[in-house]
């Protein structure tokens, strides 16, 4: 299994390439590019929120709690007084870090449902919908944000599978196949829940025409850049 540094470096590189390509489509600003890059990098770390390694779990869960708290603060900035907003951000941060994450760690198993393609899709859909519906960003930006988040997540899964191959003996380790999976047969109830949540998120996506348009522009920009 790849370590934290490998996951971080690879996710940062892959998401950086995607974000830079997205910038050249002309659909986003430089600040948008940084946000998309950061989301992809974070997506590359998120699968290890179910990690048994205390350091990895602490870093990943703290980042997640901070992102949620800051996002909530930004959403409420024009809706509630500053003092109320700061108090709410602090409460959410400590509640998430002190209660939600420990509970999540207790009910999940490393390389279980959270290490799966369905979890990657759910993360990408949630990011897209939050950006579009809650923060009222454009459909193009929201899809780019969600796409790079999902790409970062899947990059993590690919790395785990690659590191499950013993190159010296060309043999597969026992962990091979436990990351890039759509369904966890050892936990069918949670697998069904993840897919059901994906279906709900798909319903709320900002239409498929903007997604087709942005993918077309990404491919065209890539072709021009390589040509």
Angle at alpha carbon of residue 105, lines to 184 and 127, rounded to 5°:
70
- Residue 210 has which token pair? 């903007």
Burial grade of 159 (CB within 10 A; 0-12, 13-18, 19 or more): buried
pLDDT on residue 135: 86
Distance CA 20, CA 26 (A): 11
Q: Which residues pair with 172 in a beta bridge?
A: 165
Q: How far apart are CA 6 and CA 4, in angstroms?
A: 6
Note the pLDDT of residue 177: 64
Residue 130 is given by DSSP the state: I
Tokens of 122: 């759910």
Instruction: Return d(Cα 66, Cα 64) in angstroms, integer.
Output: 5
Q: Give me the residue spans of the domains in the chain.
A: 10-47+111-226, 52-109
pLDDT in tens, the chain (227 residues): 677 888 899 999 999 999 999 999 998 999 999 999 999 999 998 888 776 665 666 777 777 777 777 777 777 777 888 888 888 888 888 887 777 777 766 766 666 678 889 999 999 999 999 999 988 899 999 999 999 999 999 999 998 888 777 665 666 666 666 678 887 777 788 889 999 999 999 999 998 899 999 999 999 999 888 86
Q: What was the pLDDT predicted at 30? A: 92
**Which pLDDT score is estimated for 166?**
66
* Cβ-Cβ contacts under 8 Å for 75 (sequence gap 6 or more): 134, 135
Output DSSP code: residue 115.
Answer: S
């Amino acid at each position: 299994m790849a370590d934290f540094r490998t996951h971080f470096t690879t996710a940062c590189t892959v998401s950086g390439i995607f974000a830079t390509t997205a910038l050249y489509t002309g659909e986003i600003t430089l600040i948008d590019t940084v946000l998309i890059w950061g989301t992809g990098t974070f997506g590359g770390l998120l699968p290890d929120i179910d990690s048994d390694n205390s350091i990895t779990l602490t870093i990943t869960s703290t980042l997640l709690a901070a992102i949620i708290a800051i996002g909530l603060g930004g959403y409420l900035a024009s809706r509630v007084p500053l003092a109320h907003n700061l108090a709410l951000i602090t409460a959410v941060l400590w509640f998430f870090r002190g209660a939600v994450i420990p509970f999540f760690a207790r009910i999940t198993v490393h390389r279980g449902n959270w290490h799966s393609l369905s979890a990657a899709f759910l993360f990408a859909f949630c990011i897209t919908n939050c950006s579009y519906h809650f923060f009222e960003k454009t459909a193009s930006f929201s899809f780019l944000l969600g796409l790079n988040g999902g790409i970062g997540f899947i990059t993590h899964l690919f790395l785990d599978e690659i590191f499950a191959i013993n190159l010296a003996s060309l043999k597969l380790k026992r962990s091979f196949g436990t990351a890039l999976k759509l369904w966890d047969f050892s936990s069918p109830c949670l697998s069904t829940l993840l897919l059901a949540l994906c279906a709900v998120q798909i319903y709320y996506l900002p239409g498929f025409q903007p997604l087709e348009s942005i993918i077309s522009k990404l491919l065209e920009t890539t072709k021009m850049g390589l040509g």
